[in-house]
Structures are given as structure tokens and as C-alpha cells.
A = this chain, B = another copy of it.
Amino acid sequence: MVEELDPRKKQILQAIIQEHIISASPIGSKTLAKKYNLDVSPATIRNEMADLEDLGYLEQPHTSAGRVPSDKGYRYYVDQLVSREKNEVPGVIENIENLYQDLQDVQDIISGMAKMLSNMTHYTAMVSEPKSQVSRLKKVEIMQLADNSLLLVLVTDTGMVNNKIINLDQSLSARKISYLNRFLSEKLENKLLANLDTNYLKEVEKELMARLDLSVDLFKQFYNEFEGAFEPGGVKVYLGGTSYILEQPEFNDLEKVKKMLRLLDQEEMLNKIINSMSGSDLEIKIGQENEVEDIKNCSLVVATYYISNRAVGKIGVIGPTRMEYPRVISSVDVISDILGKLISKASG
């Protein structure tokens, strides 16, 4: 399906896309001939443009308008015409890292990076929390708050901290709590969360019951916390720069803005979107390639970030298909690296 285009067609396609990204409006042959010295006349360019339209790389909003890139055109552009080399400005990474190195809290780092990415790209950024399935439980601890109220704290090796207050119908002695802590530490710590499924927990429960006289209630709440906090697909998604989409001319229609903002309000949707991306290091979905109906006029550039070599989460940008791909790609690239490093450092 991906024809090899002759050099001049490539050149013209690239020029049209670049120009369109700047102007957000259809591009005519004359503009092209003037701004990009292609050494051919507008008429020739017109012929080439007609060819490119036949091949599906360009579209014409109406008979007497210029051409606009199609999704296929962008796809070709991104795959063939954009260099993916890391062309970082030296020092930028270090600067950002220094800027954020004081942050110890993983949630703070994530939302900080979401903001940073949206500021850099001027599109809306989204970051998913480290996936728990590939994390290990580093620490589990129960502490007593009041007579029949406990605080359960769970810490993963990716630095995520979850806590939940558990109210019991009975009170536990300090001895029982300390026993419970030792027991749970031994049974649960340093295990992959993916392995701490219902089956395993049932086993642990049975064993515990045999040794200690406890209410079933405690363990039920215990399950809930595990399921709720760590279930796949249920991870939190952080947004940054929501209002940037308003700057885009393709959203100068209130109806479209509404649709978009309503979408971004729904966490399940964000989850669906970000989880529909493959696991590859950097993936780009253009317009119709997206599965979610409401963003079929948007593009996504999403990278996977790593904590100690494990793919744990995704960070990316959502904007109109007419996106500044080269800039966005390198920004997402850089920030995903930094995010991984910062979290690794913070979670020791």
C-alpha cells in the first residue's frame, strides 16, 4: 500500500504538509512555488498535486481550494519524511532534570512532567501512572489510627504509594497488628503485583486464619484495596494543558470543543485511548487510525516510559492531525526519558 514516490512528489508532499501545519489552511500551487524553491512552475506542481490526490495522499476541501494532507499523507510524512534522530539541544535534559529533581513524590513528578510536556508542545499531554502489573510490592504496612480504624499503606518499587483507611467492627490488639504486619510482609513483599491475584490472596487468608483469630471483614477490605488500586486499566491518567486544544483553529467550533473536553473529563476514555496504544517505544496514531470515535480527527504521539528497564507507563500528546510532528516527537521522546529517570531516582 505504500508506494515509492518519486523525489519530486516526496518534496511536494513534504512542502504541503509543512506549510499546512503552519497555516492550517489548504495550500495552493502558487504558494508552494513561491515559498519553496522547487524550480518548477505552478502548473507542474498542480499536475503533481493531482497525482498525489489520486494516490490518496492529499485531499481537496472543494473544487477550487488548495490541497490538504489526508491521514495517509500524514502517515507517509511521519514514516518516511520525518527524521527520528534524537536532535536534542544539549543541556535541555539536564536542565529539566535539575528543575524537577527536588520532587520526591511520584504523583508530583508525573503531573509535573505532564505540564512540562504540554508547555513544550502546546498540545494536551497525558501520562498514565506506572502500571502496577509489572511492579513489585515493596512495603505493606498496617497501622492503628484509632480503636477500630486502621491505615493500610502499600508502596510499590515504582514509588507509587496507596493508602486506605479501614474501619473494623472489632478492635485489634497491638500484638495482633504487629503479628499481622510481620506476616503480610513475609507473604506479600517483593512479589510482583501481577502474582498477588485473588487465588494467592485466598491462600494467604487461609493461612492467616489458621494462625490468628480475625474477622473476615478485614480481609475483604484488603482485597478491595488491591483490586481497586492496582487493577490493570484502572490506572490514573494525568492531563496537562487541557486548554491548549482551544488554541487550535480546528477547534474554533464550540461543538467540537465541547466534545473534546467532555472526552477528557472521562477517565475511562483516557484509559481506553492510552491503553489502545501498542507497547512500542514511540507510537503515532493519526486521525482515523484511532479507535475511539471522538478523536478520529486527532493524532496521538505516545511513548512508553521505563523504570529500571521495565515498561511501566505511557506518556504522550494529543492534538489535531495537523500536528507539528517533528517537534512533538522529539519532545515526547525526551520527556519520557526524563520521566523514567526521575521516578527511578525518587523511588530509590
Contacts and interface: CB of A to CB of B under 8 A. Distances in A.
Interface residues of A, number: 38
A44 to B, nearest CB: 40
A164 B261 CA distance: 32
Nearest to A260: B243
B257 A164 contact: no
A244 to B, nearest CB: 10
Interface stretch (A47-55, A89-97, A143-151): A143-151
Contact of A257 (B153, B167, B246): B246
A141 B167 CA distance: 19
A104 B166 contact: yes
Contacts of A86: none
Contacts of A141: 143
Contacts of A164: 104-105
A242 interface: yes
28 contacts: A104-B165, A105-B165, A106-B165, A138-B145, A139-B143, A139-B151, A143-B153, A145-B348, A146-B348, A148-B348, A151-B153, A151-B155, A151-B161, A153-B153, A153-B163, A161-B165, A165-B347, A165-B348, A167-B346, A167-B348, A243-B258, A243-B261, A246-B257, A246-B258, A252-B254, A254-B254, A257-B257, A261-B261
Given A148-B348, A161-B163, 8 more contacts: A105-B165, A139-B144, A143-B153, A165-B346, A167-B346, A254-B254, A254-B257, A257-B257
